Amino acid sequence: MKKWKRTLSGYVTGLGIGALCFGGLTYANTGMMTIAAHYANIKLLTNGTTINTAAQPFIFNHNVYVPVSTVAHGLGASVAWNNAKRQVELTANPPATIRRGNMDYAGLPVYNGTQTAYYRGYPYVSAFALATALNEPYYVNYAQRVAYIGRGPSTGMPIQAFYDVRDYGAYAMLHPQLAGPTYGWADGAPRIDGVPYPNANSLVWSSSTKGGSQVPGVEYNLQGHYSQLTGNFGLDDASDGKEQVQLTVSGNGKQLYQSPWMGLHQPAAPVSVDVSGVRLLTIGFSVKIGAKVYAMGQSMPAGYAVNIDFANVNVH
Amino acid sequence: MKPKWSVALGVATSAVLWAGASYASTGVQMVRAEFDNIGIQLNGRPVTVTAQPMIYNYNVYVPISTVAHALGAHVAWVNSPAAVMVTAPPSAQPLRVFYNGTALPGGVTNGTSYADVPATTAAYMQATGLKTTVDTAGNVNFAPAAGSSLPAGATALTALTPSTLLGDFANTTLYPGGRLTNQWPATVIGQLYPGSSTVEWGIMPGQTSKIPGLDYNLGGRYRTLTGLFAVDDLSKNYNGTVRLVFLGDGVTLAQTPWMQGGSAPAAVSVDVSGVQNLQIQYQVKDAQGTVYATGQSYVAPPQNPDGSKTDPIVFTDFIDPALTP
């Protein structure tokens, strides 16, 4: 296939003699014209995503022509047709300039790599960095373009928005990078008795069949600002079914809730716990094999595949 | 006057029209298009076009390079299969922001990798109590607007010169010039504390530490020693505990509880009335229950309880220790 390239002669041919820019200049030809359009199944991609356009791009006079609406939408610009002025009117936000710097607190470094956006002459600070400085949970919904610091939306604040002040058992061990709780399965969503749950705000854990796994738990700082913890607890369908699991929720060191012992293919236990006044919230798991209970922080024996789901956990 | 074509700009509309239209997907097709000095404006300003836009089949067609460049995008042509690749930094979109349920002035997001807010504005400072400053390189500083958290009339302990530095505090590699503070802000259960007068000490994996202590000649000039003592979040999962013991002229005046990670700081308030010589001694109780006191050596395990060889085994903050006359 021939590589099409814009050439100077192409411009000249396309524009007529001497008309190098538009802006009141008259083209050599106006009105209806029959032109030779080259079609070549030309795909249009913006930022790697194929734009499905019904009106196909074509090549005319060494230029690739596309419907303006298609490319404008692909680049996030809005487009309008001004019929009186016979012009296309694009409206687009310029991209922000992002610089990565240090986050300091009272003049001393906390972490590096915070993203500051410079947009239309003003600096914008990472909402996550601000939430960190405020010691508040942070949640952003990019699809809806809304960020929450502190209290969340009406559906509650997803549990992973909260800072884990202490980790227990397997959660205290280094994963590939950091110690901390695991939110969601890498190979799918939680599924309890055939019912799927959202991956993102689910606290999950899987034992190693080789043994030595420590039953996990995690402590969050709620600062006494919240009233209710909700979720669904059970044994994930991927478990071997040789064990039962239990969820214990404590506030300020005092037990607030304990689930029944949950077995394989048992419908998830709906969890709703009053956390009013709770500063430190502990979510701990236990595993029972036969009559033997392995509590949070204790090592499990080899030969068991237990997959725990505390699914769809939100704090209200 | 020639008839003006009406133009459909919506993608969906184009699709409907296309369903009824037929043209070759490859090869040359003779098509009737309208050239009518069609202009392009971006944000109210004319865009210089290098080849004429045209109207064909109810769509305005533009040379892709013209529009893409106007929108700050880069255009590349791929030969096989034929494709035009347009790459652009995603434009900034408005971001709504809620702080504990209250709407704050909106920010900007690209919808994927950043969500930034105008934290330097007065509205944010008022809502958050943080004075936020940004430099042109992207560095951000948050400062509590309240300023000093020392009691009125108090002197920061770190402003006094100790009569004796003990253990690690005497190690000038760890504490050059005997400077005990101003390295990091303390972080305890997520809460940041200004670090300008916080005494910091910790144990690194694989190192031999000497449990530290501090002696001060107070000369009976002060009544109360205050502050907060905590295990820093750097070592929140430490399985042992630490505490401070305060001695006045050789007599134990007070001690903090044994502190562990993931708990709120212990408030220190020690009566030092008439005390000439104040000793502040650190004690560490490891996971096995063995206690190490000031001056003793502690050979740290090669990794911390999380399995990290770089994060501290335990790190302590004596936050804002201050003497009130």
Question: Chain B contact for A66, CB < 8 A?
Answer: yes
Query: Is residue B159 located within the same domain as residue B177?
Result: yes
Q: Report pLDDT digits (tens) over A148-192.
A: 999 999 999 999 999 999 999 999 988 767 789 999 998 889 999
Tens-place pLDDT, residues A132-142: 999 999 999 99
User: Has residue A84 got a pLDDT over 60?
Assistant: yes
Of chain B residues 151-170, which have a CB less than 8 A from chain A? none
pLDDT in tens, A51-61: 777 788 888 88
Q: Tell me the pLDDT tens digit for each residue of B199-228.
A: 999 999 999 999 999 999 999 999 999 999
- Residues 6 or more apart whose CB falls under 8 angstroms from that of A206 comprise A185, A238, A305, A306, A307, A308
Q: What pLDDT sits at residue A191?
A: 96
pLDDT value of position A259: 98
Task: Mark whether B274 and B160 lie in a shared domain.
Answer: yes
Q: Does A90 touch chain B (CB under 8 A)?
A: yes
pLDDT of residue A87: 86
A148 Cβ under 8 Å from any chain B Cβ: yes
Residue B1 has pLDDT above 70, yes or no: no
Nearest CB to B308 within list A40, A48, A174? A174
Same domain, B46 and B109: no
Most A CBs within 10 Å, among B71, B136, B304, to test the A interface? B71
Please tell me the number of Cα atoms within 13 Å of A236 on its side-chain side: 25
The answer to whether residues B160 and B67 belong to one domain is no
The answer to whether A99 faces chain B, any CB pair under 8 Å, is yes
- Cis peptide bond N-terminal to A270, omega within 30: no
**pLDDT, tens only, B268-295:** 999 999 999 999 999 999 989 999 999 9
Compute CA distances A164 → A61, A172, A256, B264, whole Å.
Answer: 62, 10, 19, 13
pLDDT at residue number A29: 61
Given this model, what pLDDT does residue A72 score? 82
Q: Are residues B138 and B174 in the same domain?
A: no
Please check whether residue A135 touches B, CB under 8 A: yes
Nearest CA in chain A to B30: A36
How far off is chain A from B270, nearest CA to CA, in Å?
27
Task: Tell me the residues of chain B between 266 and 295 that have a Cβ less than 8 Å away from chain A.
Answer: none
CATH code reported for the domain at A158-315: 2.60.120.1060
CA-nearest residue to A146 within chain B is: B96
Residues B206 and B320 in one domain: yes
The count of structural domains within chain B is: 3
Contact B306 A172 (CB under 8 A): yes
The residue segments making up the domain with residue B240 are 155-324
Q: Is B115 on the interface with A (CB under 8 A)?
A: yes
pLDDT at site B70: 82
Measuring CA to CA, how many Å separate A277 from each of A157, A227, B296?
A: 17, 7, 42
Q: Is residue B41 part of a domain?
A: yes
CB proximity A79 to B under 8 Å: yes
In this prediction, residue B260 carries a pLDDT of 94
Ordered DSSP codes for B201-224: EEE-TTPEEE--EEEEE-TT--SE
Mutate to test the interface with B, among A6, A69, A85, A111 (most CBs of B within 10 A): A69
C-alpha distance from A169 to closest chain B C-alpha (Å) = 9
Taking only the tens place, the pLDDT of each residue in B255-272 is 999 999 999 999 999 999
* CATH number, domain containing residue B298: 2.60.120.1060
Share of chain B above pLDDT 90, in %: 61
Residue spans of the domains in chain A: they are 8-91, 97-154, 158-315
Do B318 and B174 have their domain in common? yes
CB-nearest partner of B237 from A3, A105, A172: A172
Q: Report the chain B residue with the minimal C-alpha distance to residue A131.
A: B99
Asked if A95 is an interface residue toward chain B (Cβ–Cβ < 8 A), one would say yes
Distance CA A311, CA A306 (A): 15
Range in A20-29, A295-304, B156-165 the model is least confident about: A20-29
Establish if A242 touches chain B: CB-CB under 8 angstroms.
no
* Chain A touched by B101 (CB under 8 Å): yes
For residue B181, tell me if it sits in a domain.
yes
| Partners of A246 in beta bridges | A286
Distance from C-alpha of A306 to C-alpha of A243, rounded to nearest angstrom: 7
Query: ipTM score of the complex?
Result: 0.79
Distance from CA of A266 to the nearest CA of B (A): 34
Whether residue B5 lies inside any domain: the answer is no
The CA distance from A154 to A144, in Å, is 14
The whole-number pLDDT of residue B24 equals 45
Evaluate whether A201 touches A160 at the Cβ level (below 8 Å). yes
Nearest CA in chain A to B145: A106
Region A6-30: what's the mean pLDDT?
A: 34
Residue B4 lies in a domain: no
Which range is least confidently modeled, A72-76, B24-28, B30-34? B24-28
The amino acid present at B116, given as its one-letter code, is: D
Mapped to the 3 state alphabet, what secondary structure does chain A carry?
Answer: CCCCCCCHHHHHHHHCCCCCCCCCCCCCCCEEEEEEEEEECCEEEECCEEECCCCCCEEECCEEEEEHHHHHHHCCCEEEEECCCCEEEEECCCCCEEEEEEEEECCEEEEEEEEEEEECCEEEEEHHHHHHHHCCCEEEECCCCEEEECCCCCCCEEHHHCCEEEEEHHHHCCCCCCCCCEECECCECCEECCEECCCCCCEEEECCCCCCCECCEEEEECCCCCCEEEEEEEECCCCCCCCEEEEEEEECCEEEEECCCECCCCCCEEEEEECCCCCEEEEEEEEEECCEEECCCCECCCCCCCEEEEEEEEEC
CB pairs under 8 A between A and B: 453
When the pLDDT of each residue in chain B is averaged and rounded to a whole number, the result is: 87
Whether chain B has a CB inside 8 Å of the CB on A316: the answer is no
The mean per-residue pLDDT over the stretch B152-166 comes to 95
pLDDT-derived band of residue A12, with 50, 70 and 90 as boundaries? Answer: very low
Which of B34, B87, B189, B198 to mutate to probe the A interface, most A CBs <10 Å? B189
Residue A246: how many CB atoms within 10 A of its CB?
19
Q: Are residues B290 and B312 in the same domain?
A: yes
CB-closest option in B48, B96, B138 to A99:
B138
What is the structure's pLDDT at A45? 83
Of the residues A44, A49, A136, A145, the best mutation for testing chain B's interface (the one with the most B CB atoms within 10 Å of its CB) is A145
Q: With residue B98 as reference, give the H or E element that holds it.
A: strand B93-99
pLDDT digit string, tens, across residues B45-99:
888 887 888 888 888 898 888 888 888 788 888 877 788 888 876 678 899 999 9
Sheet holding B39-42, edge to edge: A78-82, A87-91, B39-42, B45-46
Same domain, B190 and B241: yes
| Neighbour count for residue A48 (Cβ, 10 Å) | 8
**Any CB–CB contact under 8 A between B22 and chain A?**
no
- The pLDDT of residue B90 is 67
B265 close to A (CB below 8 A): no
C-alpha A272, offset from chain centre: 25
Task: Verify whether the Cβ–Cβ distance B82 to A92 is below 8 Å.
Answer: no
Q: What does DSSP assign to residue B259? A: B
Tell me, yes or no, whether B2 lies in a domain: no
A-proximal residues of B, 294-323, CB under 8 Å: 305-308
The 10s digit of each residue's pLDDT in A212-246 is 899 999 999 999 999 999 999 999 999 999 999 99
* Co-location of B138 and B78 in the same domain: no
Residues of chain A in contact with residue B25, where contact means CB-CB under 8 angstroms, are 39, 41, 56
pLDDT for res A46: 79
The pLDDT of residue A23:
33
Q: Are A83 and B4 in contact (CB under 8 A)?
A: yes
- For residue B6, being part of any structural domain is answered with no
Residue B7 has pLDDT above 70, yes or no: no
Of A4, A75, A221, the CB nearest to B77: A4
Looking only at the bridges linking them, the beta strands covering B83-87 and A43-46 are parallel
Residues B68 and B103 in one domain: no
A129 touches chain B (CB under 8 A): yes
What does the pLDDT read at residue A24? Answer: 33
Domain presence at residue B1? no
- pLDDT above 60: residue A28: no
Least confident window among A59-68, A266-275, B128-137: A59-68
Question: B269 near B225, Cβ under 8 Å?
Answer: yes
pLDDT tens digits, one per residue of A99-134:
999 999 999 999 999 999 999 889 999 999 999 999
| Chain A residues within an 8 Å CB radius of B48 | 21-23
Q: Please name the residues between 263 and 282 in chain A that touch chain B, using a CB distance below 8 Å.
A: 279-280
- Is A201 an 8 Å CB contact of chain B? no
Q: Is residue B248 part of a domain?
A: yes
Q: Please check whether residue A229 is in contact with residue A315, taking contact to mean a CB–CB distance below 8 angstroms.
A: yes
Show residues of chain A in contact with B15, CB under 8 Å.
Answer: 54
Tokens representing residue B128 in the block: 């958050």
Q: Which residues of A touch B53 (CB under 8 A)?
A: 68, 88
Percentage of chain A beyond pLDDT 90 is 62
The per-residue pLDDT for range A264-311, each reduced to its tens digit, is 999 999 999 999 999 999 999 999 999 999 999 999 999 999 999 999
Q: Looking at beta carbons, which residues of chain B come within 8 Å of A111?
A: none
Whether B307 and B207 map to the same domain: the answer is yes
